[in-house]
């Protein structure tokens, strides 16, 4: 079976068919051996079915993403259309408008890609993306993404539990936090060389060790059954569904095990607005945005699709115990 490469103007299957139909189609393709046939007959990009889905992504990754296993996560949720997920983003390395990452990230080179692992761990070094994914069973998890700007969407990620990766590096008992760092390459990420940027590049984020090891926390390498697009953080991004979206750092090139709380970009830039924990909390407003409700995308002027925000973005049962005894109004 030949997987036709779509043009930007073509309608997306996820927009013209229900998600369940899209899923059945993808399962049939995988079971029919479409991946194997395509890999044998076509070059590396043949398995990527959209022009904007990580141009230049390696064939092995596209194949692995397509074969990801379904899970029960988010089965009651309706994912946003592919176009909404990929064309409405915050990725300030490529601009400050929501469509800038889609328009300006096409030149980002994600193959080859390596991640440095260091700090309070026994196993350290530089690892290729292929090395990191070896032995990882990829899963599709449908998660809610909640931005601190009071909008949200539902995304069918493809990835693996972060805990599986971290255990490989044998963290020491002194490792209390994990720090993540985004690529710093002004030639590929134009806003990093802007004289008007207030951000101290590279972008940095962090988690407490127990947060990083929680089963909900994943590293994503794809969405909608395809390789992660550049504008969504290719080739490797963090996804922490109970926290505001800025915690889910993109295009990761370094992982550091730390004894002390790491500096994080937004907390350092505006500590009164962005806390280290950044848990979704409808009872604690941002100075510029009420967090009591959110605009679920897609939405429009006459159909705002506004819904109530849930504590921990609806994942309270899985993560509330992590913060037992903490004052979440002060430790936000």
pLDDT tens-digit series, residues 150-208: 999 999 999 999 999 999 999 999 999 999 999 999 999 999 999 999 999 999 999 99
Q: Identify the band that residue 19 occupies on the pLDDT scale cut at 50, 70 and 90.
A: low
98: pLDDT strictly greater than 70 = yes
2: pLDDT strictly greater than 70 = no
Least confident of 42-46, 58-62, 99-103: 42-46
322: pLDDT strictly greater than 80 = yes
CA distances for 86 relative to 77, 138, 148, 163, 232, angstroms: 18, 21, 18, 27, 6
Instruction: Tell which wins on pLDDT, 235 or 18.
Output: 235
Tabulate helix, strand, coil % of the chain (nearest 5). Answer: 30, 20, 50
Write a three-state SS string for 270-314: CCCCCCCCCECCCCCCCCCCCCCEEEECCCCCCCCCEEECCHHHH
Cα–Cα distance for residue pair 259/285, rounded to 1 Å: 30
Cα–Cα distance for residue pair 313/116, rounded to 1 Å: 31
212: pLDDT strictly greater than 50 = yes
pLDDT at 298: 96
18: pLDDT strictly greater than 80 = no
Residue 249, classified by CB atoms within 10 Å of its CB into exposed (0-12), middle (13-18) or buried (19+), is buried
User: In this structure, is the dihedral angle defined by the CA atoms of residues 310, 316, 320 and 322, taken in order, positive or negative?
Assistant: negative
42: pLDDT strictly greater than 90 = no
Mean pLDDT within 68-89 = 97
Instruction: Tell which wins on pLDDT, 279 or 50.
Output: 279
Angle between helices 19-31 and 34-41 (to 10 degrees): 60
Write a three-state SS string for 130-187: HHHHCCCCCEEEEEEEECCCCEEEEEEEEEEEHHHHHHHCCECCCCCEEEEEECCCCC
Share of the chain above pLDDT 90, in %: 81
* pLDDT mean across residues, the chain: 88
pLDDT tens per residue across span 256-309: 999 999 999 999 999 999 999 999 999 999 999 999 999 999 998 888 999 999
Write a three-state SS string for 7-47: CCCCCCHHHHCCHHHHHHHHHHHHHCCHHHHHHHHCCHHHH
CATH 3.90.180.10 for the 13-323 domain, yes or no: no
Instruction: Tell which wins on pLDDT, 49 or 331.
Output: 331
Whether 219 contacts 239, CB under 8 Å? yes
pLDDT tens per residue across span 51-67: 556 777 999 999 999 99
pLDDT at 56: 78
Grouping H, G, I as helix, E, B as strand and the rest as coil, residue 101 is helix
pLDDT at 51: 53
Angle between helices 59-66 and 19-31 (to 10 degrees): 120
What are the residue boundaries of the structural domains of the chain, listed by start? 13-323
Least confident of 31-35, 128-132, 199-203, 236-240: 31-35
């Amino acid at each position: 079976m030949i997987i036709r490469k779509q043009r930007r103007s073509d309608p997306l299957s996820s927009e013209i068919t229900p998600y369940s139909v899209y899923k059945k189609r993808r399962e049939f393709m995988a079971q029919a051996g479409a991946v194997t046939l395509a890999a044998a007959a076509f070059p590396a990009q043949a398995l990527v079915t959209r022009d904007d889905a990580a141009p230049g992504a390696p064939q092995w990754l596209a194949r692995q993403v397509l074969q990801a296993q379904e899970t029960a996560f988010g089965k009651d949720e309706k994912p946003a259309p592919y176009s909404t997920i990929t064309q409405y983003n915050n990725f300030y390395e490529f601009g400050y408008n929501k469509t800038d990452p889609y328009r300006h990230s096409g030149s980002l080179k994600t193959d080859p890609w390596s991640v440095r692992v260091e700090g309070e761990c026994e196993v350290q070094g530089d690892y290729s993306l292929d090395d990191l994914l070896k032995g990882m069973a990829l899963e599709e998890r449908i998660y809610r993404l909640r931005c601190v700007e009071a909008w949200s969407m539902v995304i069918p990620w493809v990835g693996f539990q972060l805990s599986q990766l971290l255990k490989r590096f044998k963290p020491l008992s002194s490792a209390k936090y994990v720090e993540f760092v985004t690529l710093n390459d002004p030639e590929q990420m134009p806003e990093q060389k802007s004289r008007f940027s207030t951000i101290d590049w590279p972008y940095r984020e962090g988690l407490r060790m127990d947060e990083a090891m929680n089963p909900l926390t994943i590293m994503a390498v794809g969405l909608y059954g395809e390789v992660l697009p550049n504008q969504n953080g290719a080739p490797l991004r963090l996804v922490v569904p109970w926290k505001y979206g800025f915690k889910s750092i993109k295009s990761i090139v370094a992982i550091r095990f730390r004894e002390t709380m790491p500096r994080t970009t937004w907390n350092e830039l505006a500590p009164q607005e962005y806390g280290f924990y950044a848990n979704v909390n409808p009872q604690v407003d941002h100075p510029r945005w009420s967090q009591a409700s959110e605009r679920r995308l897609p939405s429009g002027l006459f159909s705002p699709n506004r819904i109530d925000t849930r504590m921990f973005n609806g994942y309270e049962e899985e993560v509330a115990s992590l913060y037992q005894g903490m004052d979440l109004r002060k430790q936000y």
